[in-house]
Structure 1
Amino acid sequence: MEQPLFERMDTVFLRVRDFEQAFAWYHHTLGLPVIWRTDMIAALRAGDKTPITLVKQDAVAEPHPLFNLYTSNIQQTYERMQERGIAVGPLRDYGTVQTFDFTDAEGNVLNVCHFE
Protein backbone atom coordinates (compact mmCIF):
# COMPACT_ATOMS: atom_id res chain seq x y z
CA MET A 1 0.00 0.00 0.00
CA GLU A 2 1.30 3.41 -0.99
CA GLN A 3 2.18 5.83 1.81
CA PRO A 4 -0.06 8.94 2.00
CA LEU A 5 1.38 12.15 0.55
CA PHE A 6 0.74 14.14 3.75
CA GLU A 7 0.77 13.42 7.47
CA ARG A 8 -1.46 16.30 8.55
CA MET A 9 -2.75 19.76 7.83
CA ASP A 10 -0.05 22.04 9.24
CA THR A 11 -1.79 25.42 9.50
CA VAL A 12 -4.65 27.54 8.19
CA PHE A 13 -3.60 30.97 6.91
CA LEU A 14 -5.63 34.12 7.53
CA ARG A 15 -4.55 37.21 5.63
CA VAL A 16 -5.25 40.29 7.73
CA ARG A 17 -5.18 44.00 6.85
CA ASP A 18 -4.29 45.26 10.34
CA PHE A 19 -1.82 42.72 11.71
CA GLU A 20 -1.49 44.19 15.22
CA GLN A 21 -5.25 44.53 15.68
CA ALA A 22 -5.88 41.00 14.40
CA PHE A 23 -3.10 39.57 16.55
CA ALA A 24 -4.51 41.29 19.66
CA TRP A 25 -8.00 40.00 18.91
CA TYR A 26 -6.99 36.37 18.35
CA HIS A 27 -4.44 36.32 21.18
CA HIS A 28 -6.07 38.47 23.86
CA THR A 29 -9.80 38.39 23.05
CA LEU A 30 -10.01 34.72 22.00
CA GLY A 31 -7.15 33.73 24.29
CA LEU A 32 -5.22 31.70 21.69
CA PRO A 33 -1.65 31.06 22.86
CA VAL A 34 1.22 32.18 20.63
CA ILE A 35 3.33 29.42 19.09
CA TRP A 36 5.68 31.90 17.38
CA ARG A 37 5.52 35.42 15.99
CA THR A 38 7.36 37.93 13.79
CA ASP A 39 6.32 41.44 12.71
CA MET A 40 4.42 40.02 9.71
CA ILE A 41 3.25 36.53 10.68
CA ALA A 42 2.07 34.80 13.84
CA ALA A 43 1.02 31.23 14.55
CA LEU A 44 -1.53 30.74 17.34
CA ARG A 45 -2.65 27.49 18.93
CA ALA A 46 -6.33 26.79 18.29
CA GLY A 47 -6.73 23.48 20.10
CA ASP A 48 -4.59 20.37 19.90
CA LYS A 49 -4.14 20.07 16.15
CA THR A 50 -4.07 22.76 13.47
CA PRO A 51 -2.92 26.29 14.35
CA ILE A 52 -4.17 29.53 12.84
CA THR A 53 -1.43 31.59 11.18
CA LEU A 54 -2.10 35.31 10.77
CA VAL A 55 -0.29 36.84 7.80
CA LYS A 56 0.05 40.58 7.26
CA GLN A 57 -1.79 41.12 3.97
CA ASP A 58 0.73 43.42 2.31
CA ALA A 59 3.67 41.24 3.35
CA VAL A 60 2.90 38.38 0.94
CA ALA A 61 2.42 38.10 -2.79
CA GLU A 62 -0.86 37.14 -4.41
CA PRO A 63 -2.07 34.49 -4.48
CA HIS A 64 -1.32 33.13 -1.01
CA PRO A 65 -2.14 29.57 0.09
CA LEU A 66 -5.27 29.01 2.17
CA PHE A 67 -3.52 26.32 4.22
CA ASN A 68 -0.52 24.06 4.08
CA LEU A 69 -0.03 20.34 4.44
CA TYR A 70 2.91 18.73 6.24
CA THR A 71 5.05 15.93 4.81
CA SER A 72 8.02 14.21 6.40
CA ASN A 73 9.72 13.78 2.99
CA ILE A 74 9.16 16.84 0.83
CA GLN A 75 11.32 15.70 -2.08
CA GLN A 76 9.44 12.42 -2.38
CA THR A 77 6.06 14.16 -2.07
CA TYR A 78 7.12 16.71 -4.70
CA GLU A 79 8.08 13.94 -7.14
CA ARG A 80 4.97 11.84 -6.45
CA MET A 81 2.70 14.83 -7.07
CA GLN A 82 4.48 15.53 -10.38
CA GLU A 83 4.03 11.86 -11.34
CA ARG A 84 0.29 12.30 -10.74
CA GLY A 85 0.22 15.21 -13.17
CA ILE A 86 -0.16 17.90 -10.50
CA ALA A 87 1.44 21.20 -11.49
CA VAL A 88 3.73 22.12 -8.62
CA GLY A 89 5.64 25.33 -8.10
CA PRO A 90 9.35 25.46 -7.34
CA LEU A 91 10.67 23.69 -4.27
CA ARG A 92 11.89 26.43 -1.90
CA ASP A 93 14.35 25.96 0.97
CA TYR A 94 14.30 28.57 3.73
CA GLY A 95 16.87 26.78 5.87
CA THR A 96 14.53 25.61 8.63
CA VAL A 97 11.54 24.92 6.38
CA GLN A 98 11.12 23.63 2.84
CA THR A 99 7.95 24.32 0.90
CA PHE A 100 6.22 24.38 -2.47
CA ASP A 101 2.85 25.53 -3.80
CA PHE A 102 0.33 23.77 -6.02
CA THR A 103 -3.23 24.43 -7.15
CA ASP A 104 -6.25 22.22 -6.76
CA ALA A 105 -8.80 21.46 -9.50
CA GLU A 106 -10.65 24.72 -8.66
CA GLY A 107 -7.52 26.88 -8.87
CA ASN A 108 -7.06 27.34 -5.11
CA VAL A 109 -3.42 27.78 -4.12
CA LEU A 110 -2.28 25.25 -1.52
CA ASN A 111 1.11 24.61 0.04
CA VAL A 112 3.20 21.67 1.21
CA CYS A 113 5.80 22.13 3.91
CA HIS A 114 8.48 20.20 5.77
CA PHE A 115 10.45 21.14 8.86
CA GLU A 116 12.16 19.27 11.67
Structure 2
Amino acid sequence: MNPLLNELGTVFIPVKDVEKARDWYCDLLGVPADGEVLHGHLYVLPMKGTGIVLDSKIYAEEATFKVPAFHFNTKDIEGAYQFMKEKQMNLLTDVENGHWFKFTDLDGNVLMVCEC
Protein backbone atom coordinates (compact mmCIF):
# COMPACT_ATOMS: atom_id res chain seq x y z
CA MET A 1 0.00 0.00 0.00
CA ASN A 2 1.35 3.43 -0.97
CA PRO A 3 1.67 5.69 2.12
CA LEU A 4 1.58 8.91 0.04
CA LEU A 5 -1.72 10.70 -0.34
CA ASN A 6 -2.92 11.86 -3.74
CA GLU A 7 -3.21 15.50 -2.61
CA LEU A 8 -1.17 18.66 -2.13
CA GLY A 9 -0.58 20.04 1.33
CA THR A 10 1.07 23.45 1.10
CA VAL A 11 2.95 25.58 -1.43
CA PHE A 12 5.84 27.64 -0.03
CA ILE A 13 6.42 31.02 -1.70
CA PRO A 14 9.77 32.77 -1.19
CA VAL A 15 9.23 36.38 -0.11
CA LYS A 16 11.69 39.08 0.90
CA ASP A 17 9.59 40.73 3.64
CA VAL A 18 7.04 38.39 5.20
CA GLU A 19 4.92 41.18 6.74
CA LYS A 20 4.66 43.13 3.45
CA ALA A 21 3.95 39.90 1.56
CA ARG A 22 1.28 38.93 4.13
CA ASP A 23 -0.49 42.25 3.67
CA TRP A 24 -0.25 42.06 -0.15
CA TYR A 25 -1.53 38.47 -0.44
CA CYS A 26 -4.30 39.01 2.13
CA ASP A 27 -5.44 42.13 0.26
CA LEU A 28 -5.33 40.23 -3.03
CA LEU A 29 -7.42 37.36 -1.64
CA GLY A 30 -9.76 39.49 0.46
CA VAL A 31 -8.85 37.81 3.74
CA PRO A 32 -7.84 39.46 7.03
CA ALA A 33 -4.12 39.94 7.62
CA ASP A 34 -4.47 39.31 11.32
CA GLY A 35 -2.54 36.05 11.58
CA GLU A 36 0.75 35.72 13.37
CA VAL A 37 4.14 35.52 11.66
CA LEU A 38 5.64 32.26 12.90
CA HIS A 39 9.31 31.90 13.88
CA GLY A 40 10.01 35.34 12.41
CA HIS A 41 9.77 34.16 8.78
CA LEU A 42 6.57 32.15 8.06
CA TYR A 43 3.02 33.28 7.41
CA VAL A 44 0.27 30.75 6.70
CA LEU A 45 -2.36 32.34 4.46
CA PRO A 46 -5.96 31.48 5.37
CA MET A 47 -6.90 29.40 2.32
CA LYS A 48 -9.56 26.93 1.27
CA GLY A 49 -8.00 23.71 -0.05
CA THR A 50 -4.25 23.63 -0.65
CA GLY A 51 -2.43 26.03 1.63
CA ILE A 52 0.11 28.75 0.92
CA VAL A 53 2.96 29.60 3.26
CA LEU A 54 4.93 32.79 2.72
CA ASP A 55 8.53 32.19 3.80
CA SER A 56 11.21 34.89 4.03
CA LYS A 57 13.87 32.42 5.15
CA ILE A 58 13.93 30.71 1.73
CA TYR A 59 13.93 33.98 -0.23
CA ALA A 60 16.62 34.64 -2.79
CA GLU A 61 16.04 36.46 -6.06
CA GLU A 62 17.07 33.36 -7.97
CA ALA A 63 14.61 31.25 -5.91
CA THR A 64 11.52 33.19 -6.97
CA PHE A 65 9.01 31.46 -9.24
CA LYS A 66 9.94 32.18 -12.86
CA VAL A 67 6.88 30.23 -14.03
CA PRO A 68 3.66 29.66 -12.08
CA ALA A 69 3.92 26.71 -9.66
CA PHE A 70 0.14 26.83 -9.10
CA HIS A 71 -2.85 28.98 -10.01
CA PHE A 72 -5.59 30.81 -8.17
CA ASN A 73 -9.08 29.73 -9.24
CA THR A 74 -11.83 32.05 -10.46
CA LYS A 75 -15.29 31.54 -11.89
CA ASP A 76 -15.01 34.87 -13.81
CA ILE A 77 -11.69 35.33 -15.60
CA GLU A 78 -12.62 38.70 -17.14
CA GLY A 79 -13.83 39.99 -13.76
CA ALA A 80 -10.65 38.74 -12.08
CA TYR A 81 -8.49 40.42 -14.73
CA GLN A 82 -10.37 43.71 -14.33
CA PHE A 83 -10.06 43.44 -10.52
CA MET A 84 -6.28 43.00 -10.87
CA LYS A 85 -6.04 45.96 -13.27
CA GLU A 86 -7.95 48.16 -10.83
CA LYS A 87 -5.59 47.10 -8.01
CA GLN A 88 -2.69 48.06 -10.31
CA MET A 89 -1.13 44.61 -10.08
CA ASN A 90 1.85 43.79 -12.27
CA LEU A 91 0.02 41.91 -15.04
CA LEU A 92 2.29 39.94 -17.36
CA THR A 93 -0.34 38.84 -19.88
CA ASP A 94 -3.83 39.64 -21.01
CA VAL A 95 -6.46 36.94 -20.57
CA GLU A 96 -5.16 34.10 -22.74
CA ASN A 97 -7.39 31.60 -24.53
CA GLY A 98 -10.31 32.95 -22.50
CA HIS A 99 -9.13 31.03 -19.43
CA TRP A 100 -5.99 32.38 -17.73
CA PHE A 101 -3.56 35.25 -17.13
CA LYS A 102 -0.22 35.72 -15.34
CA PHE A 103 0.99 38.39 -12.92
CA THR A 104 3.74 38.86 -10.32
CA ASP A 105 3.75 39.47 -6.61
CA LEU A 106 5.88 42.10 -4.83
CA ASP A 107 8.98 39.89 -5.06
CA GLY A 108 8.65 38.94 -8.72
CA ASN A 109 7.13 35.48 -8.21
CA VAL A 110 5.15 34.65 -11.35
CA LEU A 111 1.59 33.66 -10.45
CA MET A 112 -1.48 32.68 -12.46
CA VAL A 113 -5.26 32.97 -12.31
CA CYS A 114 -7.35 30.36 -14.16
CA GLU A 115 -11.06 30.07 -14.71
CA CYS A 116 -12.35 26.77 -13.39
| Shorter-chain TM-score tier | 0.3 to 0.5
Normalized against structure 2, the TM-score is what? Answer: 0.45
Normalized against structure 1, the TM-score is what? Answer: 0.45
Structure (1 or 2) with the greater strand fraction: 1
